[in-house]
Amino acid sequence: MFPRPKKVGKHTTPENLNDLTIGQLIDMSSVGEGAELFTNICGIVLGMKPKEVMNARAVDVVRFVGWVTGEVGKINRLFESTSVKPTELERRAGIEKLQFGLFGMLDYYALRMGFQDHDDVLKVKWLRIYKCIDIDNQKNQYQRRLQEVMTNDYRRKSR
């Protein structure tokens, strides 16, 4: 894990990545390699032009990109933690065929919030989308437990 430098060139670095949009996070999934990696990440997060990145102190650029990479890893793990293990019935019904990737997440949020255009979702902060997914998953897990309790009560009473 790299420590976050306070500045890269003339740009003050953020204390966390909570203000990034989901679009910026998606952009970071294809930043390239080598010098392109450094210029793209600094461009996405700090709004730096490639020439600014090349003129900044290399140690600050490397530390910043290392820090961002670590933080994005934490964000990815947060999203992964929202996945719910399917029930046996869901597996038998073929839930594993319902894998829609990033577009599925954008579509989910657009439908949930009433967006007409998926591109509008790209402007939403990632943390808001994560919390909506997390809340909906907690509600779904509660509904599963409630259904199980109701089924068990019904079986007990019908004996």
Clarify whether residues 125 and 73 are in a common domain.
no
Residue ending a domain, choose from 62, 80, 98 = 80
Q: How far apart are CA 63 and CA 2, in angstroms?
A: 6
Which range marks the domain in which residue 130 is found?
88-157
Clarify whether residues 99 and 142 are in a common domain.
yes
Residue ending a domain, choose from 80, 108, 124 = 80
Q: What are phi and psi of 32, to 5 degrees?
A: 95, -160
Q: What are phi and psi of 155, to 5 degrees?
A: -65, -40
Query: What's the pLDDT score for residue 32?
Result: 84
With a CB cutoff of 8 Å and minimum separation 6, the contacts of 131 are: none
Clarify whether residues 71 and 103 are in a common domain.
no
1 lies in a domain?
no
- Structural domain count of the chain: 2
Name the stretches of the chain with pLDDT < 50. none
Q: How far apart are CA 93 and CA 115, in angstroms?
A: 30
2 lies in a domain?
no
Please, are residues 46 and 98 in contact by the beta-carbon 8 Å criterion? no
Query: What's the pLDDT score for residue 35?
Result: 84
Clarify whether residues 92 and 150 are in a common domain.
yes
Clarify whether residues 97 and 70 are in a common domain.
no
Clarify whether residues 152 and 93 are in a common domain.
yes
Clarify whether residues 100 and 59 are in a common domain.
no
The torsion defined by the Cα of 134, 136, 140 and 146, in degrees rounded to 10, comes to: 100
Q: What is the pLDDT of residues 109-123, one digit of tens each?
A: 999 999 999 999 999
Q: How far apart are CA 42 and CA 49, in angstroms?
A: 8
Clarify whether residues 65 and 115 are in a common domain.
no
With a CB cutoff of 8 Å and minimum separation 6, the contacts of 96 are: 86
50 lies in a domain?
yes
Clarify whether residues 37 and 71 are in a common domain.
yes
Query: What's the pLDDT score for residue 130?
Result: 97
Residue ending a domain, choose from 25, 59, 80 = 80
- Identity of the residue numbered 30: S
pTM of the model: 0.85
Q: What token pair was written down for 67?
A: 């820090």
Angle subtended at Cα 87 by Cα 148 and Cα 137, rounded to the nearest 5 degrees: 80
